Amino acid sequence: MFKQLRQETSLYLSDFMSHSVLNELRKSWTMESPEKQASLAEQFLVASSADALDRVLEKPKKLEHGHLALPLFPFAKVLRMGPPQLAALAAGLLKAKLQEAQAEKLGLIGVEPAGGFLNLTFSDRALQQRLFGALVNEGERLGYSTRGQGKRIVIDYSSPNVAKPMHVGHLRATVIGQAIRNIAETQGYEVIGLNHLGDWGVQFGKLAWAYKEWGSQYDFKNKPFQSLFEIYVRFHEEAEKSPELEAKGSMVFKNLEDGDTAIAEIWKMFVDISLVEYQRLWDLLGVKHDLVRGESFYNSRLKVVEEMLEKKGLLEQSQGASVVNLGEEMPPCLIRKSDGASLYATRDLASAIYRKEDLKADLNLYVVGVDQSLHFKQVFKVLEKCGFEWAKDCHHIAFGMYRFKEGMKMSTRKGQVVFLEDVLNQAIERTAEVVAEKNPNLSAVERASIARDVGVGAVAFNDLLFDRVKNVEFDWDRILSFEGDSGPYVQYMYVRCASLIRKYGKEPKMTTDRTLSAPEERELVRVLMAYDDILETAFDGFKPNVLAQYLLEVCAVFSRFYHNNRILGEEASVEESRMALVRATKEILHQGLKHLSIRTPEFM
C-alpha cells in the first residue's frame, strides 16, 4: 500500500537525484575547486539516499498536489540554492524520464514543481495494483509491519479493583488499552496483555471483616458480586459512624499479609467472584488479557525490592514509614507504612521489575487515567534512581476523564460513580430501539445481536475517537447517532458495502485495468491506500484516535463516492471496478474496527 509506494518511490528518486540531477548540477560547479566539488557531491548524495528520501517524502493533503511530494529543502541547503529553483530544474529532468521503463514500472505519470516541492502523481492502475495486491495477498494481516519483530511489549490495561464494579474510567483503561495492544500487534510486536488486578490492600481486611460479620445476611449464592459490593458499601457507611471499624479492618489485613489462611480463603473468594463479573464485561468489549498478575502476586517480591532500595542507599525513614526521597520535583515515594503494610507504589515497583526481568519486556506500558500521573512519575523515578537503564522504556499511557453533560440522566447506584455496565446496557437498549425502528423485519435474536455490537461499539468508538489525554464528553445523541462522527456511522457504512456485495451476487474481482473516471474514485483509492501508514502513526503515539479518525475519513469519502456515482447497473467493466473499491472499503473498515475491538454486523 502506501508505505510500499513510498519505499519504491524513494528508491527511484534516489537514483534520479544522485545521477540525473547531480550530473546536471555538476555542470554549474566548474568554477569551484575540486575539493569543494567533491564535498558538495558527497553531501548531495547523503541527502539522496533512499532512506533519507523515505523519511522526507510527504503525503499532500489534497489530491491536486499529487500522491507524494518531495521537499527539496534538504538539497537546496547543501547547494545554497533556492528550493523553487531546484524544484524547477529537477521537474524538468524528471518529466523527460516519465516515458522510460523504470518510471512506467513505478507508475509515475506526473511531476510538477510547486514552491520548494516536487509533486508526484501516479497512475490509477499503479495505485490500485498496490492497494488490491495487498488486500488479496495480506488478508487478515493487511497493513501489518515487521517493525516490532523480535521485541516484546508488556501492556497493563483495564486492571479493575476487586469487589468494586468497573466504572467508566475503567472503560477507557479497557478500550484504549486493548486497542493499543491490537495496533502494536499489527506492527509486529509480541504483546503480553497484563491485568494488574487491584486485589490487595487494606480494603481487603475491611471486606473480610465485613463478610465474617454480615455475610450471612446477603445472597452470596445467587448474587455474589452484588452482595460483595453491598458489604463493601455498608462497611464504609458504618465506619463513618463507628471509626473503630477501620482499625479492625487494618488488623484483619495485617493478618492476611502475615499469611492467615482462613482470611486468605475468603479473600480468594472475593477475587474469584469479581473476575467472573469482569469477564462478562471484557467479553462484551472484546478484551483479552494474557496474564492476570494482581497486586497480590507481588507479595513475595516486596521484600526483595525493599532490600534492594536499602542496599542502594535509597530507603529513608520518615515518621515511622519507609520512603524514597525524590528531590524537589515531587513528593517522596512511600514504600511501607508505619504499621508495616505495603503500598500500591511498592507493588508497582515489584511489578515493573517482574515485567522486565521475568517477562522480558522491551517496552512496558501502563494504560491508566491521568489522575495517576504522579504515581507513575514517582515509580519510574525510583526505578531510574535504582540505576535501571530500562526505566526509560516504561510509559504511562494516560487518558482524560469523562465529562457528563449537565442534567444527563445516568443511573448511578451510589454517588458520582457511573458504572460501566449501566452505560453499556443503556447503549444496547437505546440501540435496540433504533434498530427496531429502522429494520422492523429482523428477528428478535438478530436485533439483540446487532444492538449489542452497535451499542457497545458506539460507546467504545466514542472513547477512542479523541486524543486520549483530553477529557471526553459523554453525549448519548452523538455517541449513538447513525449519521455523525460515531461508531454506528462507521458500522453503517460497512453494512452498506456488505449489502452492495450481496446484491452484486459474487465476490468482486480486484481488477486494476480500468482508468478511473470519477474524482471520488481516485479520492477513495488514495484514502484507502493510507491504511498501513495510519496503523504505524497510531502505534507511534499510542494513539488509537488516529485510526478511529481515519475510519471516519474513509466513510466520508466512500459516502461521496456512493452518492455521486452509479455502482450496480453500470456498464460491466465500470461496475466491476467500482465493486472492487467497495470490497476494499469494506475490508479496511472491517479490519480497522477490528483493531479497535469493534464488531461489524453484516446488516443493521
Question: Residue numbers of the site for ligand ARG (CB under 6 A)?
Answer: 156, 159-161, 196, 198, 348, 351, 366, 368
Nearer to ligand ARG, 74 or 169 (CB): 169
Residue 520 CB, nearest approach to ligand ARG (Å): 46
Residue 205 CB neighbours (<10 A): 24
Which of 277, 250, 600 has its CA nearest to residue 456?
Answer: 600
Which of 232, 239, 242 has its CA nearest to residue 207?
Answer: 232
Nearer to ligand ARG, 366 or 399 (CB): 366
> CB-based burial of residue 219 (10 Å sphere; 0-12 exposed, 13-18 middle, 19+ buried)?
exposed
Distance in Å from the first CA to the final CA of the chain: 31
The single-letter DSSP state of residue 599 is -
For residues 401 and 371, the answer to whether their CB atoms sit within 8 Å is yes
Q: How many Å apart are CA 11 and CA 106, to the nearest integer?
A: 10
Residue 462 CB, nearest approach to ligand ARG (Å): 21
How many helices (H) does the chain have, and how many strands (E)? 24, 13
- Residue nearest ligand ARG, CB atom distance: 198
For residues 580 and 528, the answer to whether their CB atoms sit within 8 Å is no
Residue 373 CB, nearest approach to ligand ARG (Å): 12
Residue 67 CB, nearest approach to ligand ARG (Å): 43
Nearer to ligand ARG, 153 or 581 (CB): 153
Nearer to ligand ARG, 70 or 368 (CB): 368
Nearer to ligand ARG, 220 or 344 (CB): 344
Residue 194 CB, nearest approach to ligand ARG (Å): 8
Residues 6+ away with beta carbon under 8 Å from 20: 93, 94, 97
Residue 392 CB, nearest approach to ligand ARG (Å): 18
Residue 369 CB, nearest approach to ligand ARG (Å): 7
For residues 231 and 203, the answer to whether their CB atoms sit within 8 Å is no
Nearer to ligand ARG, 348 or 532 (CB): 348
For residues 183 and 539, the answer to whether their CB atoms sit within 8 Å is yes
Residue 152 CB, nearest approach to ligand ARG (Å): 17
97: left (phi over 0), alpha (psi -120 to 50) or beta: alpha
Q: How many Å apart are CA 41 and CA 35, to the nearest integer?
A: 10
Buried b / exposed e over 184-197, threshold 16 CB at 10 Å, is bbbbbbebbbbbbb
Nearer to ligand ARG, 83 or 294 (CB): 294
Report CA 176 to chain centroid distance, whole Å: 6
Residue 256 CB, nearest approach to ligand ARG (Å): 18
Residue 167 CB, nearest approach to ligand ARG (Å): 9
Q: Is 229 helix (H, G, I), strand (E, B) or coil?
A: helix
Nearer to ligand ARG, 218 or 366 (CB): 366
Nearer to ligand ARG, 352 or 581 (CB): 352
For the residues of 46-67, what is the DSSP string, one character each?
A: HHTSHHHHHHH-B--SSGGG-S
Q: Is 15 helix (H, G, I), strand (E, B) or coil?
A: helix
Nearer to ligand ARG, 363 or 582 (CB): 363
